[in-house]
Structure 1
Amino acid sequence: MNTQPIYYQDASSLAELIRNREISPVEVLKTLHERINSLTPSINAMVTLSDHAVREAELAEKMVLSGEKLGPFHGVPFTVKDSIDTLNVLTQRGSPIFKGRIPDRDATSVARMKNAGGILLGKTNLPEFSYWIESDNLLSGRTNNPWDLSLTPGGSSGGESAAIAAGLSPIGLGTDLAISVRGPAAQTGIVSLKATHGSIPMTGIWPRVPRRFWHVGPMARSIRDLSLAFSVLSGPDGKDGFASFEAPSNHLQRNIPDRPLRIGWMVGPGFGPVDPEVANTVKSAAVALKELGHIVEQVEIPALEKDFVLEVFNRIHVMEMKEAFRQTTEGRSEDEIYKMAKTMLSLPETSMKDYIHAEQAAERIRDGFAEYFFQYDVLLTHVLPIPAYPHGEEHFVIDGKNVDATYLQGATVPLNVTGLPGVSMRFGTSREGLPINVQIIGSWHAEPMILHVASLLESAGSFSDLHPPI
């Protein structure tokens, strides 16, 4: 029997309770509003509440009582990162430059959640322009990690991760350029999915450059919620040219072979240094899968050693994103621009020669993963090389090595450069009681496979009942 309080129920449970008339959408929304009012002063995850949510909850209740056909998320509140457009609800992108901006339409991902019956609860915090691994900006301030307020919940979807972990929202949408749905999930102990590039349209989301690296994806409390959200969110919309793959209607039940899975695990080389505590969590997840009867072995991917993906990514994305930042900030005053935009604008230009070499390296890395997935079904890695860390930290000593903050993306950015799908989920706890997540990676369009493996680990790990001490 599920004894979790309403604010810690996953979205699937809430939808079932609403469908069975055991709880009202109005009651769910009221509970979350009370939770938000209580915790916002300390966490600062929510930046805007929708003025339309109460009316939509009342309408959702009437639909239940009248016996109408209900969507899979009917009556369930959801939140959205504030870089994703929401009809008639502020979308300010973490910057005074966009203060007061109200879109006249929903992003495709938001519209699909609404069409599935979801109720937009509000918008969550992010870094300026959705760019950095700390969710802090001049407009709405800094978000704190509910596990320890002195720590960051990450970025750029840190407001979303903090909101879900703290029980302010059961499910939401984040975006991911290099780490941004998976890293924040790891820092707060929730789950998230970065699907195959193009599986979920980016229509109505800013920034879009470099387009082939950006993703939008669900963040939640359970793997079944990720699976349900992916089935709702995926598919072409006729507007995003990268979103061209039309999956079969029952694709989440497909492509799971009736045999032991071939699973490789690694924490390097090729990802940068990793804290031993995190490395041991990955190994523990590998052992759990082996005990379930799968073929599990430690592996290496030579392509990741030949071309360090983080350097490849930096050479490509700086050249493209810097110009977007320059255009956005042109003519604006200094006090409207925060440190990350200033940092981006100060970076040296990538030469055309280096840019071409980086693009060719990206192709080699993609080929290296193709070779790996020709032999294996799944790759298991860490998400972050360390657990959650203090606000403002930009230099770290990890396994005896000094690195800057960009190295925290070492195991996540390969999936953006290649477009591969990955799930971030908790499978450990640090000595300080902080969550440690692992990353389950699959071949292109292998979301059914990685979600299946994630569900196996979810059952083996039993971390779903652990919540922040707030």
Structure 2
Amino acid sequence: MAFSQLSGPDGHDAFSSNAPVYPDGLSFASLRPLRIGWMTGPGFGPVDPEVAAIVRSAAEALQGPGVVVEHVSIPALEQDFALDVFNRIHVMEMKPAFAAATAGRSPDELYKMAKTMLSLPDTSMSDFIDAEQAAERLRDGFAEYFSQYDALITHVLPIPAHKHGVDRFVIDGKEVDATYLQGATVPLNVTGLPGIALPFGKSREGMPVNVQIVGKWHAERTILHIASLLEEVSPVKGAHPSL
């Protein structure tokens, strides 16, 4: 009911989606089984093997009567790295707003995200158009995937929960900066797909690891249903941080 009220443009946000009212193609009383794919790459950047194993275990926990689970790949994510596409598009869409919001502020008052955004060079018009075309290819790639599957299970972060203030990480033997932590979530920003995250395990050090359920456009009902199924079998259901 909440999503039915929130959907569609509100007259103030130029990026809001003008969603038609149509069924998402899945009735949970239907005899058609749910088809769910899972992946941790390639296309998302490096992923810690421990995280990848938890994503796989989450997907396999859903396998059963009425649910078909398969390991998948989405070639479009390998052709166009979504994080690069995001940076080229959103520098020019967000930088003017950051500049206006921080006008008159000293650098010491600015959060790292604002400093980073303002320090990035402007995207040229040709690069911006190339990035928009790449975003369309990513949408097409996901559209092809969702013509066969109802949902996708991935990681949220490529590592377990980490300390604050860390700028660089070594993930599966590769050193990357902190922006790479967005590798599996930025594709949703670029394409407008809905996603939901929930905890499904802990690292060897006891740090939480979340998985992400991605659905087709305007199919929040489907991923909320799958999340409820996954929550019931989560090995960390009801867990709380230690005092």
**TM more than 0.5:** yes
User: For the Cα contact (< 8 Å) 1:383–1:424, is it kept in 2?
Assistant: yes
Find the counterpart in structure 2 of residue 304 from structure 1: 77
Q: CA separation in 2, counterparts of 1:234 and 1:351?
A: 33
User: For the Cα contact (< 8 Å) 2:43–2:77, is it kept in 1?
Assistant: yes
Q: CA separation in 2, counterparts of 1:254 and 1:238?
A: 30
C-alpha displacement of 1:343: 2.3
C-alpha displacement of 1:319: 1.8
Q: CA separation in 2, counterparts of 1:347 and 1:451?
A: 37
User: For the Cα contact (< 8 Å) 1:304–1:365, is it kept in 2?
Assistant: yes
User: Do the aligned partners of residues 362 and 455 (structure 1) sit closer, same or farther apart at CA in structure 2, a change above 3 Å counting?
Assistant: same
User: For the Cα contact (< 8 Å) 1:254–1:448, is it kept in 2?
Assistant: no
Find the counterpart in structure 2 of residue 361 from structure 1: 134
Whichever residue aligns with residue 110 of structure 2, its letter is: I
Greater shift after overlay, 253-262 or 306-315? 253-262
Instruction: Compare CA radii of gyration and give the structure with the larger one.
Output: 1
* Secondary structure in 2 matching 1:441: strand
User: Do the aligned partners of residues 385 and 364 (structure 1) sit closer, same or farther apart at CA in structure 2, a change above 3 Å counting?
Assistant: same
Find the counterpart in structure 2 of residue 424 from structure 1: 197
- The counterpart of 1:467, out of the listed 222, 234, 240, is 240
TM-score (norm 2): 0.90
Identity of aligned residues (%): 68
* Secondary structure in 1 matching 2:63: helix
Find the counterpart in structure 1 of residue 57 from structure 2: 284
User: Do the aligned partners of residues 338 and 415 (structure 1) sit closer, same or farther apart at CA in structure 2, a change above 3 Å counting?
Assistant: closer
Greater shift after overlay, 455-464 or 272-281? 455-464
1:272 and 2:45 correspond: yes
User: For the Cα contact (< 8 Å) 1:255–1:448, is it kept in 2?
Assistant: no
* Secondary structure in 1 matching 2:209: strand
User: For the Cα contact (< 8 Å) 1:430–1:436, is it kept in 2?
Assistant: yes
1:244 and 2:22 correspond: no
1:192-239 CA distance string (max 9 Å, x none): xxxxxxxxxxxxxxxxxxxxxxxxxxxxxxxxxxxx754664455454
Q: CA separation in 2, counterparts of 1:369 and 1:317?
A: 20
User: Do the aligned partners of residues 468 and 231 (structure 1) sit closer, same or farther apart at CA in structure 2, a change above 3 Å counting?
Assistant: farther
User: For the Cα contact (< 8 Å) 1:231–1:252, is it kept in 2?
Assistant: no
Paired residues in the alignment total 241
Q: CA separation in 1, counterparts of 2:201 and 2:110?
A: 38
Find the counterpart in structure 2 of residue 379 from structure 1: 152
- The counterpart of 1:440, out of the listed 188, 206, 213, is 213
- The counterpart of 2:174, out of the listed 401, 405, 409, is 401
User: Do the aligned partners of residues 319 and 419 (structure 1) sit closer, same or farther apart at CA in structure 2, a change above 3 Å counting?
Assistant: same
1:117-141 CA distance string (max 9 Å, x none): xxxxxxxxxxxxxxxxxxxxxxxxx
Whichever residue aligns with residue 467 of structure 1, its letter is: H
Find the counterpart in structure 2 of residue 90 from structure 1: none
C-alpha displacement of 1:337: 2.9
TM-score (norm 1): 0.48
Q: CA separation in 1, counterparts of 2:121 and 2:235?
A: 47
1:373-411 CA distance string (max 9 Å, x none): 011111111111011111111110001111111110000
* Secondary structure in 2 matching 1:427: strand
C-alpha displacement of 1:340: 3.0
Higher RCO structure (Cα 8 Å, ≥6 apart): 2
- The counterpart of 2:99, out of the listed 317, 322, 326, is 326
Q: Is there any run of 5+ residues in structure 1 with no aligned partner, and where?
A: 1-227
Pairing of 1:207-222 with structure 2 (within 5 A): none
Find the counterpart in structure 2 of residue 340 from structure 1: 113
User: For the Cα contact (< 8 Å) 1:237–1:243, is it kept in 2?
Assistant: no
Pairing of 1:87-102 with structure 2 (within 5 A): none
Q: CA separation in 2, counterparts of 1:397 and 1:288?
A: 29
User: For the Cα contact (< 8 Å) 2:41–2:73, is it kept in 1?
Assistant: yes
